[in-house]
């Protein structure tokens, strides 16, 4: 089975302080936000991409959607390389991939009614008559748990959870194969967050969506994701099926994320420990060539992502 979305060795760097550096004759500093990330989103599956703020996960999501150009690497959607397609060529392919942003308020036009917002993809792609659009929009409102009467309202009249439901309805309007959800629950309170996660779970099963779900909270996507990739400092440091991550995490950064999850069971509460970057680097696992299932570059002194089992990848230092 082929992936519906492939990110192949993606890299993104930004030039920082170029004006200041050029004034004094120096070279602008390059900051690497994403450093060689490869991910596959399989049909009808949810891949969770987890990491703290600044880890590069949202940058990966924006590059996957071609909302941000890559420095190097490839983006493959349903077998088509879209990495450097011109906008006119890319436009019809955008029907296959949609995004839900973190901030639902700023991603919705405050001057448009909710009906106009959800119907906007149809207008952009010249689809359906006005009557057909209205009927489909009403169906989409019901699909995301909103009454059809909401169609004449404006974004400021809704709660945060309701606005996110509108964002989801708009993203689903074109019946995409791929949905990128960029921290869609981070601005919501706990109860509303659970409602949105349950909604996405139901829609994923009903519509057969393939989802790249980006979050900084491991516990948020446990019930939704089939597989989790953990990102740190622009790199994938661990990737495995969801329950493997929770039961057999091997990278120190993954363990620190798990350690940060609050527990309602007093017997399971532990004193939180916060690892510094130096401690994470010092505790990167060391494996022998015989212990991994992939061919590693043993001449490389730094850590590399290797398979410690068939479906479990860990960034480790490989010793010959």
Q: What is the DSSP string of 131-185?
A: HHHHHHHHHHHHHTT--GGGGG--GGGS-HHHHHHHHHHHHHTT--SEEEEESTT
pLDDT band at 259, cuts 50/70/90? confident
Share of the chain above pLDDT 90, in %: 66
Which residues touch 156 (CB under 8 Å, ≥6 apart)? Answer: 110
pLDDT band at 153, cuts 50/70/90? very high
Which fold does the domain 39-71+83-232 belong to in CATH?
Answer: Rossmann fold (3.40.50)
What is the pLDDT, as a whole number, of residue 27? 62
pLDDT exceeds 80 at position 25:
no
pLDDT exceeds 90 at position 285:
no
- The Cα 49–Cα 182 span in angstroms is 9
pLDDT exceeds 90 at position 239:
yes
Local structure of residue 263 (DSSP, 8 states): -
Task: Give the pLDDT mean for 131-156.
Answer: 95
- The residue ranking higher by pLDDT, 1 or 207, is 207
Q: 260 by DSSP, 3-state: which? A: coil
Per domain, the residue ranges of the chain are 39-71+83-232, 234-262+271-320
- 81-125 confidence digits (pLDDT tens): 999 999 999 999 999 999 999 888 888 999 999 999 999 999 999
pLDDT exceeds 60 at position 152:
yes
pLDDT exceeds 70 at position 297:
no
pLDDT exceeds 90 at position 278:
no
Contact present, 142 and 148 (Cβ < 8 Å) = yes
The least confident of 42-56, 237-251, 279-293 is: 279-293
What is the pLDDT, as a whole number, of residue 64? 96
- The Cα 49–Cα 37 span in angstroms is 11
What is the pLDDT, as a whole number, of residue 268? 56
What is the pLDDT, as a whole number, of residue 98? 95
What is the pLDDT, as a whole number, of residue 270? 55
What is the pLDDT, as a whole number, of residue 266? 56
Q: Is the full-model pTM beyond 0.85?
A: yes
pLDDT band at 39, cuts 50/70/90? very high
């Amino acid at each position: 089975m082929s992936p519906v979305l492939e990110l192949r060795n993606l890299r993104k760097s930004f030039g920082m302080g170029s004006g200041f550096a050029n004034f004094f004759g120096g070279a602008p500093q390059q900051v690497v936000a994403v450093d060689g990330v490869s991910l596959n989103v399989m049909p009808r599956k949810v891949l969770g991409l987890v990491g703290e703020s600044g880890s590069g996960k949202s940058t990966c999501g924006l590059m996957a959607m071609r909302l941000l150009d890559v420095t190097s690497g490839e983006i493959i959607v349903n077998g088509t390389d879209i990495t450097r397609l011109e906008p006119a060529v890319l436009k019809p392919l955008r029907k296959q991939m949609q995004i839900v942003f973190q901030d639902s308020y700023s991603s919705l036009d405050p001057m448009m009614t909710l009906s106009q917002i959800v119907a906007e993809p149809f207008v952009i792609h010249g689809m359906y008559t006005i009557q057909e659009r209205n009927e489909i929009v009403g169906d989409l409102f019901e699909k995301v748990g909103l009454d059809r009467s909401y169609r004449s309202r404006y974004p400021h009249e809704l709660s945060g959870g309701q606005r996110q439901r509108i964002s989801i309805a708009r993203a689903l309007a074109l019946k995409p194969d791929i949905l990128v959800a960029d921290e869609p629950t981070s601005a919501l309170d706990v109860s509303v967050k659970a409602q949105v996660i349950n909604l996405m779970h139901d829609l994923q099963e009903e519509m057969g969506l393939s989802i790249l779900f980006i979050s900084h909270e491991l516990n948020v996507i446990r019930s939704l994701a089939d597989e989790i990739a953990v990102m740190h400092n622009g790199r994938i440091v661990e990737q495995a099926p969801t329950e493997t991550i929770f039961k057999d995490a091997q990278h120190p950064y993954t363990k620190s994320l798990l350690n940060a999850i609050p527990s309602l069971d007093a017997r399971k509460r532990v004193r939180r420990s916060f690892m510094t970057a130096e401690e994470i680097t010092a505790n990167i696992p060391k494996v022998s060539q015989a212990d991994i299932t992939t061919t590693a570059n043993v001449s490389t002194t730094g850590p590399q992502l290797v398979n410690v089992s068939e479906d479990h990848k860990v960034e480790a230092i490989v010793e010959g």
